[in-house]
Amino acid sequence: MTSTPSDRSPGQEPEARLRADAERNRDLILAAARRLFAREGLGVSMASVAREAGVGKATLSRRFATREELINAVFADRMDAYAAAVAEALADPDPWHGFTGYIHAVCAMQAADRGFADVLTMSFPAAKALEARRTESYNGFLELIARARSSGHLRADFVPEDLVILQMANAGVIAAADDSAPDAWRRLVGHMIRSYAAPGAPIPPVPDAPAPAALYRAMVRLARTGHGSA
Amino acid sequence: MTSTPSDRSPGQEPEARLRADAERNRDLILAAARRLFAREGLGVSMASVAREAGVGKATLSRRFATREELINAVFADRMDAYAAAVAEALADPDPWHGFTGYIHAVCAMQAADRGFADVLTMSFPAAKALEARRTESYNGFLELIARARSSGHLRADFVPEDLVILQMANAGVIAAADDSAPDAWRRLVGHMIRSYAAPGAPIPPVPDAPAPAALYRAMVRLARTGHGSA
DNA sequence: GCAGAAGTGGGCCGCCTGTTCCACTTGGCT
DNA sequence: AGCCAAGTGGAACAGGCGGCCCACTTCTGC
């Protein structure tokens, strides 16, 4: 128990400090996981993460005992962006424009990172830290709703749960179509926003649907590693 | 090659007739697969299907060499219902009512059977027979669109691909929320139909969203065997 | 009934995942 | 410069999966 001189500020995280090379490997793992999660979702094998990072499987296990720990570490900063999006939307002088912009931004984040889409719909149980950030931005979203509603452009029957449902729906479109029709989700979101809008509200244009051929390709694509649900 | 007396009508399916007990086992397998697919999606292990049916793995393999064959056999009749839904909708004297009813019926079928939802979004490559039925009903759907549009109640910018996107979205909601908020999909569909409607069209009421607690439970549910996408 | 073919299920194999152990290397402190 | 603990990666292990073979049972036509 030879405690290092002082250096350990009280209330610090219980983790002992890592050696320099260990820290470097930790970063390699995080970068690799970030890449794989974004491309293929949270279901990728731990072994493939280790391979991608160029470290042994044991090293990965030592640093992140469970998949959940790894997910937590990887998406911590992305949850920052998620929370920041609400703040940005609240800063918009036009409440309705801020509202629609927020919806779009959140769905775009899902489309940009398949793993993040999984995190938001909690296909995997996320860690406490992510959950905290989520509720944090949830409060901002409530405020956003209140403002947009009193501006008269958001329908009175819109409820916060609608965003959750939209995110689940969006995740479904992304999982099924992202490979060959990467913009299909925009059509979904455009439709939903149009339905959220009160009569007379300025409605953002609903983007065109992807070409039938592209969507068809999405449907008949062979079952890749790690298919959608199930 | 002792051909049985006659009994074999020409142009019959190449399959030789099964012995009585074999036929019985085949039915047991189909029933078991129907149950498991409906509850857990198409990703269940072949071994578990055999277990559920009370037959050996070999028997399952012999009867259905690939998972795809099994899926094909299980969902053949359900595809009949799928095709029949279009005919029923076309018989509706009110084109817009027929259109919205069809959308709802199709999405309800997805919600009632998780495996069928997978089939419709082709998370797994479906067999030729299913594919044929699908395009068959697709033609009917085109007619349904044309009528609803000329009735003035369906927006001019609605395209057939919107149904595909809706099915993908619906599958996402079902995969994520079906366990604890089994009616969440109705809210999604209600919103989408409202967006499809031209100004002045009678809009079916958008069902209430599930209770926040139920949706929250859906989000934090532990990663069951075979999580959603990914 | 009886013979033989049709059908059966248990067991084995190869593959992939995730976990743990262990002999070796490397970094940090003096 | 040198020592020791922290850190490493490969190897070995357990569990689940699908595919296949093979000795045994059961149906069916005569």
Distance between CA A137 and CA A121 in Å, rounded?
15
Distance between CA B36 and CA B138 in Å, rounded?
28
pLDDT at B126 over 80: no
Measure, in angstroms, how far nucleotide D6 C1' is from residue A59 CA: 13
Let me know if residue A34 belongs to a domain: yes
pLDDT at B164 over 70: yes
Strand, helix or coil at B201? coil
Instruction: Please indicate whether residue A11 or residue B121 has the higher confidence score (pLDDT).
Output: B121
| Domain boundary residue, one of A65, A93, A124 | A65
pLDDT at B121 over 60: yes
| Domain boundary residue, one of A65, A88, A103 | A65
Q: Which of A79-88, A93-102, A188-197 has the lowest mean pLDDT?
A: A79-88
Angular region, A117: left φ>0, alpha ψ -120 to 50, beta rest:
alpha
Over range A199-211, report the average pLDDT: 96
Tell whether B54 and B126 lie within a shared domain: no
Q: Which residues of B touch A223 (CB under 8 A)?
A: 123-125
What is the structure's pLDDT at A224? 41
* CATH number for the domain that contains residue A166: 1.10.357
Q: Which residues of B touch A229 (CB under 8 A)?
A: 41, 43, 114, 117-118, 123, 171-172, 175, 226-229
Encoding tokens for residue B71?
Answer: 């899926």
Would you call A228 and B226 a contact, using CB atoms and an 8 Å cutoff? no
Per-residue pLDDT tens over the stretch B31-87: 999 999 999 999 999 999 999 999 999 999 999 999 989 999 999 889 989 999 999
Tell whether B105 and B214 lie within a shared domain: yes
Let me know if residue B6 belongs to a domain: no
Q: Which of A17-21, A64-68, B85-89, B190-194 has the lowest mean pLDDT?
A: A17-21
What is the structure's pLDDT at B220? 61
Let me know if residue B185 belongs to a domain: yes
Instruction: Please indicate whether residue A132 or residue A78 has the higher confidence score (pLDDT).
Output: A78
Would you call A230 and B40 a contact, using CB atoms and an 8 Å cutoff? yes
Closest CA to A177 of A206, A207, A212, A208: A212
Strand, helix or coil at A96? helix
Let me know if residue A5 belongs to a domain: no
Tell whether A188 and A84 lie within a shared domain: yes
Residues β-bridged to residue B197: B154
Tell which strand C nucleotides have any atom below 7 Å from a protein Cβ.
Answer: 6-11, 16-22, 26-29
pLDDT at A8 over 60: no
Tell whether B48 and B83 lie within a shared domain: no
Is residue A165 within 8 Å of B174, Cβ to Cβ?
no
pLDDT at A101 over 90: yes
Interface test with chain B among A71, A191, A194, A215, by most B beta carbons within 10 Å? A191
Using 50, 70 and 90 to split pLDDT, how confident is the model at A178?
confident
Instruction: Please indicate whether residue B140 or residue A133 has the higher confidence score (pLDDT).
Output: B140
Distance between CA A183 and CA A13 in Å, rounded?
42
Using 50, 70 and 90 to split pLDDT, how confident is the model at A129?
confident
Distance between CA A158 and CA B208 in Å, rounded?
10
Among A21-25, A101-105, A223-227, B125-129, top mean pLDDT goes to A101-105
Tell whether B103 and B48 lie within a shared domain: no
What is the structure's pLDDT at B224? 40
Is residue A178 within 8 Å of B229, Cβ to Cβ?
no
The partner residue sitting opposite B124, judged by closest CB among A125, A209, A223, is A223
Residues β-bridged to residue A154: A197
Tell whether B82 and B33 lie within a shared domain: no
CB atoms < 10 A from the CB of A48, how many? 14
* CATH number for the domain that contains residue A37: 1.10.10
pLDDT at A13 over 60: no
Tell whether B149 and B196 lie within a shared domain: yes
Per-residue pLDDT tens over the stretch B167-194: 999 999 998 898 889 999 999 999 999 9
* CATH number for the domain that contains residue B38: 1.10.10.60
Is residue B59 within 8 Å of B25, Cβ to Cβ?
yes
Among A125-129, B14-18, B170-174, top mean pLDDT goes to B170-174
Over range A200-226, report the average pLDDT: 78
pLDDT at A85 over 70: yes
pLDDT at B221 over 70: no
pLDDT at A1 over 50: no
What is the structure's pLDDT at A11? 39
Closest CA to A172 of A123, A101, A100: A123
Tell whether A157 and A213 lie within a shared domain: yes
The partner residue sitting opposite B175, judged by closest CB among A131, A162, A229, is A229
pLDDT at A197 over 90: yes
pLDDT at A161 over 70: yes
Let me know if residue A70 belongs to a domain: no
pLDDT at A229 over 70: no
Tell which strand D nucleotides have any atom below 7 Å from a protein Cβ.
Answer: 6-12, 16-22, 26-28, 30
Closest CA to A149 of A102, A104, A99: A99
Strand, helix or coil at A154? strand
Burial class (CB in 10 A: 0-12, 13-18, 19+), A122: buried
Distance between CA A44 and CA A49 in Å, rounded?
8
Tell whether B45 and B112 lie within a shared domain: no
Percentage of chain B modeled with pLDDT above 90? 67
Measure, in angstroms, how far nucleotide D18 C1' is from residue A117 CA: 31
Let me know if residue B126 belongs to a domain: yes
**What are the C-alpha distances in Å from A209 to residues A182, A187, B131?**
11, 6, 22
What is the structure's pLDDT at A180? 86
pLDDT at B9 over 50: no
What is the structure's pLDDT at A6? 37
Over range A68-86, report the average pLDDT: 91
Number of domains forming the structure of chain B: 2
Mean model confidence pLDDT for chain B: 86
Tell whether A51 and A85 lie within a shared domain: no
Burial class (CB in 10 A: 0-12, 13-18, 19+), A105: middle
Would you call B164 and A227 a contact, using CB atoms and an 8 Å cutoff? no
**What are the C-alpha distances in Å from A33 to residues A24, A53, B61?**
14, 8, 37
Let me know if residue B4 belongs to a domain: no
Tell whether B111 and B168 lie within a shared domain: yes
What is the structure's pLDDT at A133? 82
Q: What is the extent of the structural domain holding A119?
A: 75-220
Using 50, 70 and 90 to split pLDDT, how confident is the model at A53?
very high
Tell whether A56 and A92 lie within a shared domain: no
Let me know if residue B1 belongs to a domain: no
Scanning A151-229, the segments in alpha helix (DSSP H) are: 161-177, 184-196, 212-220
Per-residue pLDDT tens over the stretch B190-211: 999 999 999 999 999 999 999 9
